[in-house]
Structure 1
Amino acid sequence: MKADFENGPFKPTFDSLRTFECPEWFRDAKLGIWSHWGPQSVPMVGDWYARFMYMEDTEQYRYHARVYVHPSEFGYKDIVQLWKAEKFDPEALMELYVAAGAKYFVAQAMHHDNFFNYDSKWHKWNAVQMGPKKDIVALWKAAAIKKGLPFGLTEHMGATYSWYAPNKGSDKKGPYANVPYDGNDPAFEDLYLPNREHYDPNKGMWDLDPWYTPNESWHRHWLEVMKELIDRYEPDLLYSDGALPFGRIGESPTESDGAARFEAGLEAVAYLYNKSASLHGGVNQAVYNQKDRRQSVYSIGILDIERSQESDIKTEPWQTDTCVGEWFYNVRAVYKTPAHVIEILVDIISKNGNLLLNIPQKPNGTLDDECTYLLREMAAWRSVNEEAVYGTRPFRDSGEGPSSVVIDHFKEDAVDWTPADFRFTRRGNVLYAFQMRWPEDGKAIVRTLTEADKVKSVRLLGAGEVPFEQPYGTLIVRLPDKRPTSYVHVLAVELEE
């Protein structure tokens, strides 16, 4: 039986969902904080533990065998029980996130490990019945609402069926050669899945073709879980880790042999938008993120780009998701510096994008000192420069100067910016010029402006008005001796209307 709101304005078709309009809250927000957290944080050795621990000769496999025991005897089902989240304080964390500048918050509902961070009627392997014995998602939502933040969820379940296949294997050599891993035990099939058709002992760590299984029963199960999440938590944002389920990137949504693959995904997105419309006077306020970069697909919501960026301004808002270090907590991870994170944010917002930033949590729910320091440095920078960030829109150019970010999948190297590098945003007749490096000669020179752009005044945020001249349109600003912030500084340039 359909819920009343399912008869809302959106139908589960590409044509209908392409009428999506980005809500103003997302355009204005610019920065979201993400909790990418679950049982895979327990070993504290980084990402994809529940897959790699079943792949002989990987770092995670060796760690597991040495610290715990061989995965035929002690598997991921046992790691789950070690996750207690005993020091998890979502309200205290939300205080830090809001101070750092977060305008929306996103929690992980489940990762590819098939463990749910909420109390699901569909799946007993969840954080209420096992491990922490608490509804992690509900606790996060309550903390976000208390701070007035839009609340989102990420789902990584679509790819689980194929991603999890290595648990059907066994060692090829050594004392446990040919001893089946515990993923072969039918008693735990509800966690490890009946996915043997995707197991290939010759596949490497990153060989995940297909990302999405063609198994239609899994598609139906995924859809029921998505509806449960939407009904229970009424998210303002839903993110899928991959393309729109269950299509393959590059597969045309208009061809008859491909369109059927998207049916579950289209139905979930329509359900999300209609639920939101029912809560907001008939107007959808929810956002859907996915990673297919073809306009014919991403126009049903907001394009998400993992660990990369756009080269220039996009007409419609978009989002980069990235992490301070690794997605799941790793004691050996090298973190991005505060300067690097702030520079990423500035570059993204100049191009009409948002940054969704994961702050990795320890298994007990706390942050380490380095993450706390990062957030406090972001907070100090925000307190000076927030006027140039939130609620702004792109200028006619995203910036100027010789340097640019590397546009390459999963490459986020820090840029060696120069004082000639600027990124721009605007609010009405005020241009905000982010100078990416402090000039040793004390001058900020903005060449993008023309003689038609008459400058009325210039402020250095955090310092006040500064002297300027504008010969032949070029803006030349004399900066004070003292910097107002340790990181990127901002000129607020008021133009004649």
Structure 2
Amino acid sequence: MKRRDLLKHMGAALPAAALPDLCSAADAVAPGAALPIASGPFAPAWDSLDKYQVPDWFRNAKFGMWAHWGPQCEPEFGDWYGRLMYEEGSDAYRHHLEKYGHPSKFGFKDVIHQWQADKWEPDELVAFYKKAGAKYFVAMANHHDNLDLYNSRYQPEWNVTKVGPRKDLIAGWSKAARANGLRFGVSVHAAHAWTWYELAQGADKAGPLAGVPYDGNLTRLDGLGKWWEGFDPQGLYAQRHPLSKANGDGGVQYEQWHWGGGAAIPDQAYCEKFFHRTRDLIDSYDPDLVYYDDTVLPLWPVSDVGMRLAAHMYNRSIATKGKLEAVVNGKILNPQQRRSMVWDIERGQSNQIEELPWQTCTCIGNWHYDRRLFDNHGYKSAQTVVHTLIDVVSKNGNLLLNIPVRGDGSIDAQERAIVGEIGRWLARNGEAIYDTRPWAVFGEGPVMEQAAQMSGAGFNEGKGKPFSASDLRFTAKGETVYAFIMGWPQDGKVTIKSLRSASPYLKKRIARVELIANGFPLDFRQTAHGLEVTLPRDQPPLAYANALKIS
């Protein structure tokens, strides 16, 4: 199959054998150059990967915390700083001029050099997240900026043991997670550096430095006498290639993000290096979960390295743990691909109970730390996070929540207050979240009747109506049903239509209803109209969401 045809059918369930003329073909590499995948029952083909079964630990965990933290947090100016600082006239460009100087003289490599992470205390942070109710913790292993945040054998110059903090961040996070009894995951984003950094090949079009190249095309020889002497900037920027098609926004929007629409296609060396770096990460740090910030898998469909990595992780898990305990996240999946890994929805939710477990990833602010949100009190509230968690769990999903970490490795006071409140809610209502499964229906009320549709990888978050006391969500555990009231009704009464006396979802009449937060039994009547529950007259335990235990 030719590359143009493969791109046209992006995301189709194609076996690795359909990719012989692309950079992905392992047998096209010189003998001894490519590492093999671990032996086992899984092969890098969809007909093999779709035999995957999601492990119970993930299905039961429901709530994970994420440190989406790297050198782009050093400027504390929000997302994609390493790219937008090269976009003449953008807010990030203007901020960069003021804080650091012109990107022809102070590029992103120099931001990395300035990043020290001197207040990073992984043990304290992960313990705090565990107290807040997290059952797994995910740390970013690299971003589109291409810096490995671990002791990377295949990115030997541009990793944090050699530049920036000069300490192994993934080792520190991993140790802290396991010391706190949490499952540990990593997120991998570096596959897109090839196109994401393309702006670094440019130059200002106006002003006193018009035409002076930014630093994206520098080579090792250009570093003589500078702090990065002996380092090859192309190991970071990967920009010695023609640009993507004009007007494609540098390969970061729409079809170009999926390696179509005229995106510059990575060469074989880039693809294999990415495979080796990521396999090294998996083998060295043994994560339970790997989140890929990619359509389907890294470099799909122009490479099979993502399928090789998935097969390797599954086989390795079986070999080292005696059973398949590994989770791989991917985005924008077709039905076969959803069976092959765990579907991730970015900043959004499904509008139905999904047959297969899934995950939504979101953040209380921007993915990378943005001081402006702190200054303007712009974070999501704990109430918004809790409502999202309940909604996602009711539909067979997990919530992975990022708390933006400052450049120095700390989190701010507002973030601590939000995380603390989430923990307070889970401490009182967690029985209805953890170890549960979807009930017969996921909910009732106006929000589900006017749900916002997903766009691309998700991105329907906050586009629907806000939750109120008129909205209900359900989970189940054995014969027990949990009903979440997404507010506190003013009249102290709630009617649950799905639990009416003639409900097709019930095998027995309801014997007891209690408020989980305080264990109080509640008065109720099961009528043909619904289960009518009378709530306590005094102050609600938690005004924005409470779980009823119905048995």
Give the TM-score normalised by structure 2: 0.84
Out of 183, 197, 216, the residue aligned to residue 150 of structure 1 is 183
1:264 equivalenced with 2:300 (yes/no): no
* 1:429 alignment counterpart: 479
SS in 2 for 1:222: helix
| In structure 2, distance between residues paired with 1:42 and 1:75 | 13
Q: Which runs of 4+ in 1 moved over 6 A?
A: 1-5
| In structure 2, distance between residues paired with 1:38 and 1:356 | 18
Aligned pair count? Answer: 482
Call closer, same or farther: CA 1:371–1:345 in 2, change over 3 Å. same
Q: CA deviation at 1:370?
A: 0.9
Q: Deviations over 1:218-270 (max 9, x none)?
A: 2111111111011101111011111234555xxxxxxxxx6xx3421111000
1:320 equivalenced with 2:375 (yes/no): no
The aligned runs of 1:16-415 (5 Å cut-off) are 16-123=48-155, 124-187=157-220, 188-198=233-243, 202-204=247-249, 207=253, 209-211=255-257, 212=259, 213-246=265-298, 261-281=302-322, 283-333=323-373, 334-404=378-448, 405-409=451-455, 410-413=459-462, 415=465
Give unmatched runs, 5+ long, in structure 2. 1-31, 221-232, 260-264
CA contact (8 A) 2:298 2:306 kept: yes
1:471 equivalenced with 2:527 (yes/no): yes
CA contact (8 A) 1:52 1:61 kept: yes
Q: CA deviation at 1:203?
A: 4.7
Of 403-412 and 35-44, deviating more is: 403-412
SS in 2 for 1:304: strand
Give unmatched runs, 5+ long, in structure 1. 249-257
* One-letter amino acid of the structure 2 residue matched with residue 67 of structure 1: K
Q: CA deviation at 1:419?
A: 2.1
Call closer, same or farther: CA 1:245–1:468 in 2, change over 3 Å. closer
Q: CA deviation at 1:193?
A: 1.1
Q: CA deviation at 1:408?
A: 3.3
* 1:447 alignment counterpart: 497
CA contact (8 A) 2:194 2:238 kept: yes
Q: CA deviation at 1:49?
A: 0.5
* One-letter amino acid of the structure 2 residue matched with residue 488 of structure 1: A
Q: Deviations over 1:75-121 (max 9, x none)?
A: 11110011111010111101211111111010100000011110111
| In structure 2, distance between residues paired with 1:340 and 1:293 | 27
SS in 2 for 1:62: helix
* One-letter amino acid of the structure 1 residue matched with residue 473 of structure 2: R
Q: CA deviation at 1:451?
A: 2.2
* 1:252 alignment counterpart: none
CA contact (8 A) 2:500 2:527 kept: no
| In structure 2, distance between residues paired with 1:195 and 1:393 | 50
Q: Deviations over 1:116-154 (max 9, x none)?
A: 110111111111111111100000000000111111111
* One-letter amino acid of the structure 2 residue matched with residue 235 of structure 1: P
SS in 2 for 1:431: strand
SS in 2 for 1:469: strand
* One-letter amino acid of the structure 2 residue matched with residue 86 of structure 1: D
| In structure 1, distance between residues paired with 2:138 and 2:453 | 25
CA contact (8 A) 1:461 1:492 kept: yes
* 1:493 alignment counterpart: 550
CA contact (8 A) 1:384 1:485 kept: no
| In structure 1, distance between residues paired with 2:37 and 2:146 | 29
Q: Deviations over 1:417-475 (max 9, x none)?
A: 23221000000111100011100000011001242531010001122111111112610
SS in 2 for 1:161: helix
Q: CA deviation at 1:33?
A: 0.4
Q: CA deviation at 1:190?
A: 1.6
1:418 equivalenced with 2:468 (yes/no): yes
* Cα root mean square deviation, aligned: 1.8
* One-letter amino acid of the structure 2 residue matched with residue 456 of structure 1: A
CA contact (8 A) 1:291 1:298 kept: no
* 2:20 alignment counterpart: none
CA contact (8 A) 1:168 1:196 kept: no
SS in 2 for 1:349: helix
| In structure 1, distance between residues paired with 2:501 and 2:481 | 15
Q: Deviations over 1:328-371 (max 9, x none)?
A: 00011221111101001100000000011000011111111111
* One-letter amino acid of the structure 2 residue matched with residue 174 of structure 1: G
